Amino acid sequence: MKRLITGFSLIICLSLFLSINTSLGATAQEINKEVQQTLNNLFKTTPTAKALAKRAKGILVFPKIWKGGFIVGGYYGEGALLVNNNIVGYYKTYAASYGLQAGVQAYGYALFFMTDKALKYLLNSQGWEIGVGPSIVIVDKGTAKSLTTTTAKDDIYAFIFNQKGLMAGLGLQGSKISQFHPKK
């Protein structure tokens, strides 16, 4: 019975991911456009993000991540790293999970690298797992109100935005981030 449920869960998960019309396999030009639009929207709605961007050594933006699952789940998204307002590389984020979960969700996130050391860690890693390496602070509405460029002392600040769909739980711990080369 356990194998049947696991097999059924895998089939549902694969079906969900294959049926979602995503930007998977987007071209560099498409990713560039989405990243710029996403940052502009984030800056309009979250003044703290705009203020941090002025001091950030780099900003890694994932405009849209698709997450889905039924017992077995996972997510995937593509984005770009900006340094001095220029895109210097393309990255993907992904994870798999197992446990009590059901649903489909889309969201995005941006990581603001505040130190040279944190940015160097990303650039030199062959695949980075969030939770291992530089410290990350997830900025929610409460944190955003009290966070200023003077009080921002951590390595990386994460903003999660544009959540749509139904899926219990949202976190970045365990996410894998690695560089890739999009279609031209």
pLDDT tens, residue by residue, 145-183:
444 444 456 889 999 888 887 665 545 556 789 999 998
Amino acid code (one letter) for 103: G
Residue ranges covered by each domain of the chain = 2-180
- Residue 165 pLDDT: 74
Beta strand extents in the chain (DSSP E only): 58-83, 86-113, 128-129, 136-138, 156-167, 176-180
pLDDT of 19 strictly over 50: no
- Residue 20 pLDDT: 45
Residues 6+ away with beta carbon under 8 Å from 24: 66, 76, 78
pLDDT tens, residue by residue, 85-96:
999 999 999 988
Structure tokens at 157: 């600040």
